[in-house]
Amino acid sequence: MRQFLALFALAAVVILSPAAARADDYVLTIKDHKFTPTELKVPANTRVIITVVNEDTTPEEFESNILKVEKVIPGKSRGTVRIGPLKPGRYPFVGEFHEATAKGVVIAE
């Protein structure tokens, strides 16, 4: 039982430990319910961390089914979004609360 627990704990640590932080950081800014840049180039086949900065006073939901992300970014605040590894291609995303204007695409290459 003891060994089993130790093994389980070890497995949990291996699975749950966050991968080492990557140096490259990508930033998307929301202002007036629009994303800047509207096209964000990221490397393919690797995990990418994007910081989404919401400069509006209202909350926004960063959403992309293809990127498997759904995250609320409160007004005047920022959030971290982890995506990938992606195959080369175009991956659209929207701000769900203002879908008419808040649109963009991640380009993996």
Partner 1 sequence: MLGALIIVFREVIEAGLIVGIVMAATRGVSGRGRWIGIGIGAGVFGATLVAAFAGAISQAFEGSGQELFNASVLAVAVVMLMWHNAWMARHGREIAAEMRNVGTAVSEGAKPLTALAIVVGVAVLREGSEVVLFLYGVLASGTSGMSIALGGLLGIVAGAAFTALTYYGLLAIPQRYIFSVTGWLIALLAAGMAASSVQFLNNAGFAEVLGSTVWDTSWLLSDGSILGKLMHTLIGYTERPTQLQLAVYLGTLLAMAVLMRIARYRPQERVVA
Pairing of strands 48-54, 25-31: parallel
Least distance to partner 1 from the beta carbon of 28, Å?
13
H/E segment holding residue 3 = helix 2-16
Bond into 74 cis (ω within 30): no
Tokens describing residue 79: 């959030």
Supply the minimum distance, in Å, between the C-beta of residue 106 and partner 1.
15
Nearer to partner 1, 2 or 46 (CB): 46
Nearer to partner 1, 53 or 107 (CB): 53
Identity of the residue, 72 or 107, whose beta carbon is nearer to partner 1 in the bound complex? 72
Query: Can you give the binding site for partner 1, defined by CB under 8 A?
Result: 15-19, 47, 51, 57-61, 65-66, 68-69, 71-75, 77-82, 84-85, 96-97, 99-100
Find the shortest distance in angstroms from Cβ 81 to partner 1: 7
Strands 39-42 and 103-108: parallel
Element (H, E) at 70: strand 69-73
